[in-house]
């Protein structure tokens, strides 16, 4: 994406400054938007600058002109020598990076506001440097599986969004063989569909088999939108919990055994025909398969590499919790760590990092999936009965950075995993990078600032005291978050008004 976007740019002015050359890149157009209280700044035309701006495939000193919600120009070089006629916010050595795009978050509204919600969820997102998120079609009630249920989402979200929010729809047995039902859901604006190959845990979101998926892809191909798949499947020769005999439900090892890597492998094997259908000349050319939250870094990953090699249109995400934790670190009874697929052993975690660094895993997502606190059964500590889902939305930037530092990750890699590639998946051509003409969706953060993830009032999740990350020392503090030019979060404060947009596909 960056390469083609760069091709459109024309440096209109080159200034020889004292030491560094300043190149000015300007967008061909800009339009105005915004309203009362949407921003913590009084103006919608200004520059932001720092020594470390992640733009044009590099990191270095630059100033970024924000005008009417868009990035209007980028002055690369020693911006302090550059005469700017508008207010300049100089962030010194802080990093200015594209805002994060989280393609996998469960905001649970309407219907399960006691789990999370549009207001709390998007406040947390803004505080964490996330400028766009895509809401999953389940855990809210009803699930988003039709035009009517998408409308309920849009109504529930009105005036509550601090960041931009798009929606995935659900591919379920009820609509999979019904192209006109799927078309009306896609026409209503979902960015793509999501389905499960194992029970989802939500009654009105039943699982699909490979036939449902192959059929659904044919419709998705017409719209060139992706199908996101929860790829765990109970192998044909197994009972549904995979456990033999009496095992301690408070032990994490028991839970781990109940969802082995073979489930992920079985699902992806079962998808091989569907993946082949997405190849050039295939039955669903134009559609795309995206495997959500891959945990197994072995056989399942190899199958995905094979599919990519033969030309299938496929991508894979994993989540920070699989990169931060290993199974032996999960305390017995601590169900805050329960998620599906499970967090696996330390060697698997190493292999996930390697796959991410090698480009075999394309992007990261939070899979923020909280619940009402009582469903985590914290006192009982029963891993088999507790709700599975890790609460993490606000923490993903410092977590990815802190745990990734030992692998030498770069700011450009962070921007690819968290902004550029997710923008592509979600079909957002003007998001995911700091480039002229793009939305001014920006996070300003200090990679070196250390702090503890705690349950203080600067955490905005609905249930701030339930997260597997609490107590972890991390570095990487978000200073400011801009969504389409509005300063929506700064110095632990949110803008007065919630002016995030709902993003609908056209
Ligand atoms: C999937 O389920 C449908 C019924 O909803 C059935 O017709 C089809 O044969 C199943 N496919 C597979 C591969 O089991
Ligand atoms: C979290 O806080 C709630 C009250 O808001 C309390 O009922 C619950 O016990 C707390 N849970 C933990 C794990 O601290
Ligand atoms: Zn999820």
Domain residue spans in the chain? 100-431
Q: Strand pairing of 164-167 and 130-135?
A: parallel
Point out the ligand nearest to the CA of residue 175.
1
| DSSP 3-state of 164 | strand
Closest ligand 2 atom, CA of 465? 1
pLDDT at 26: 67
Greater pLDDT, 256 or 17: 256
The predicted pLDDT at position 243 comes to 65
Q: Are 58 and 23 in contact (CB under 8 A)?
A: no
Q: How far is the CA of 97 from the centre of ligand 3 (A)?
A: 26
Domain 100-431 is found in CATH 3.30.1330.60: no
Are 356 and 333 in contact by the 8 Å Cβ rule? The answer is: no
Q: How far is the CA of 104 from the centre of ligand 3 (A)?
A: 6
373 Cβ closer than 6 Å to some ligand 2 atom: yes
CB-neighbour burial class of residue 276 (10 A; exposed 0-12, middle 13-18, buried 19+): middle
Q: Which atom of ligand 2 is nearest to the CA of 376?
A: 13
What spacing in Å lies between the alpha carbon of 247 and ligand 3's midpoint? Answer: 27
**41-85 confidence digits (pLDDT tens):** 999 999 999 999 999 999 999 999 999 999 999 999 999 888 778
Residue with the two structure tokens 């919790």: 321
Among left, alpha and beta (phi > 0; psi -120 to 50; other), residue 117 is: left
Dihedrals phi, psi of 337, to nearest 5 degrees: -90, 0
* pLDDT digit string, tens, across residues 233-263: 999 887 666 566 678 999 999 999 999 999 9
| Rounded (5°) CA angle 490-495-501 | 115
Residue 172 CA: which ligand is closest? 1
Residues in contact with ligand 1 by the CB-under-6-Å rule are 173, 209-212
Question: How does DSSP assign 416-431, residue by residue?
Answer: IIIIIHHHHHTT-TT-
Average pLDDT, the chain: 92
> Could you tell me the distance, in angstroms and rounded to a whole number, from the CA of residue 139 to the centre of ligand 2?
21
Beta carbon of 465 within 6 Å of any ligand 2 atom: yes
**Residue 10 pLDDT class (50, 70, 90 cuts):** very low
Degrees, nearest 5: CA angle 430-433-434: 105
Q: What is the mean pLDDT of residues 162-185?
A: 98
Supply the DSSP symbol for 239: -
Nearest CA to ligand 2 atom 2: 465
What pTM did the predictor assign? 0.93
Q: Is residue 69 a contact partner of residue 439, using CB atoms and an 8 Å limit? A: yes
Cβ–ligand 2 distance for 378 under 6 Å, the answer yes
Q: What is the CA radius of gyration of the chain?
A: 22
Q: How buried is residue 480: exposed, middle or buried, by Cβ count under 10 Å (0-12/13-18/19+)?
A: buried
pLDDT at position 456, please?
86
User: 347: Cβ–Cβ under 8 A, 6 or more apart, which residues?
Assistant: none
Within 10 angstroms of residue 21's Cβ, the number of other Cβ atoms is 11
Tokens 């997405």 label which residue? 278
Instruction: Decide if 195 contacts 168 (C-beta within 8 A).
Output: no
> pLDDT of 474-490, one tens digit each?
999 999 999 999 999 99
């Amino acid at each position: 994406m960056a390469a083609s976007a760069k091709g459109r740019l024309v440096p209109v002015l080159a200034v020889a400054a004292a030491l560094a050359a300043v190149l000015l890149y300007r967008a061909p157009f800009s339009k105005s938007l915004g309203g009362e209280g949407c921003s913590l700044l009084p103006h919608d035309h200004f520059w932001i600058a720092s020594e470390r701006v992640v733009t044009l495939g590099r990191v270095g000193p630059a100033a970024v002109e924000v005008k009417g919600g868009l990035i209007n120009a980028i002055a690369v070089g020693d911006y302090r020598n550059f005469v700017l006629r508008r207010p300049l916010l100089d962030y010194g050595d802080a990093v200015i990076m594209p805002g994060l795009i989280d393609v996998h978050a469960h905001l649970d509204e309407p219907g399960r506001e006691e789990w999370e919600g549009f207001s709390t969820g998007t406040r947390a997102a803004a505080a964490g440097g996330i400028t766009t998120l895509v809401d999953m079609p389940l855990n809210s009630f009803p699930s988003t599986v039709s035009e009517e249920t998408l409308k309920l989402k849009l109504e529930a979200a009105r005036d509550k969004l601090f960041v931009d929010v798009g929606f995935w729809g659900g591919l379920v047995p009820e609509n999979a063989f019904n192209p006109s039902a799927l078309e009306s859901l896609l026409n209503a604006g979902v960015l793509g569909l999501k389905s499960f190959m194992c029970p989802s845990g939500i009654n009105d979101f039943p699982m699909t088999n490979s036939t449902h998926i192959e059929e659904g892809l044919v419709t998705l191909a017409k719209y060139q939108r992706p199908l996101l798949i929860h790829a765990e499947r109970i192998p044909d020769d197994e009972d549904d919990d995979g456990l033999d005999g009496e095992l301690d439900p408070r032990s994490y090892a028991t839970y781990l055994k109940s969802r082995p890597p073979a489930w992920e492998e079985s699902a992806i094997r079962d998808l091989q025909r569907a993946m082949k259908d997405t190849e050039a000349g295939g039955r669903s050319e134009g559609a795309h398969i995206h495997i959500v939250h891959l945990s197994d870094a072995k056989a399942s990953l190899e199958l995905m590499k094979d599919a990519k090699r033969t030309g299938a249109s496929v991508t894979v995400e994993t989540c920070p919790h699989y990169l931060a934790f290993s199974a032996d670190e999960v305390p017995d009874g601590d169900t805050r760590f329960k998620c599906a697929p499970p967090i696996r052993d330390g060697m698997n975690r190493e292999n996930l990092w390697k796959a991410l660094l090698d480009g075999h895993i394309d992007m990261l997502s939070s899979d923020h999936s909280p619940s009402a606190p009582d469903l985590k059964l914290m006192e009982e500590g029963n891993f088999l009965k507790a709700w599975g889902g890790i609460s993490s939305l606000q923490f993903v930037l410092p977590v990815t950075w802190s745990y990734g530092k030992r692998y030498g990750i770069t700011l450009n890699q962070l921007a690819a995993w968290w902004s550029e590639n997710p923008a592509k998946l979600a079909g957002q051509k003007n998001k995911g990078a700091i480039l002229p003409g793009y939305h001014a969706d920006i996070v300003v953060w200090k990679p070196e600032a250390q702090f503890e993830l705690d349950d203080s009032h600067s955490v905005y999740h609905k249930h701030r005291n339930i997260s597997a990350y609490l107590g972890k020392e991390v570095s990487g503090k978000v200073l400011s978050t801009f969504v389409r030019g509005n300063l929506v979060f700064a110095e632990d404060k949110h803008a007065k008004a919630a002016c995030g947009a709902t993003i609908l596909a056209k």
